[in-house]
Amino acid sequence: MSVFLELQQLQDVLQVGEPSTNPTTVRQLTEGSDFRPFLKNIKLSTDSCIVLHCSTDNVMKILKQANELKMLGEYQVGWFLISGDPLSLKFL
């Protein structure tokens, strides 16, 4: 997917909703493979929706670490994947 199309997708997602009642926070993923500190900051925030835009290689790592932090299931956050080809992900 081209960078232009990826940016267009993000722009479309960021325009959804009312900014005054549901503000958007944009955060850049940390370097490396341990995303837990990054995810903990999100968990402690009031954000209720996570738009995950990263390489397909990182999606499963991030979701597994989010699950370790109880951010999936009962955690009241919606997850949207805008990464490469989500159909190619292998869920265990």
Q: pLDDT, tens digit, for every residue of 42-66?
A: 888 887 778 888 887 888 899 899 9
As a whole number, the mean pLDDT across the chain is 77
Q: Residue with structure tokens 């990263």?
A: 54
Q: Residue with structure tokens 């805008």?
A: 82
What are the backbone dihedrals phi and psi of residue 52, each rounded to the nearest 5 degrees, phi first?
A: -100, 115
Residue 11 pLDDT more than 90? no
Question: Comparing C-alpha atoms, which of 91, 82, 41 is closest to residue 61?
Answer: 91
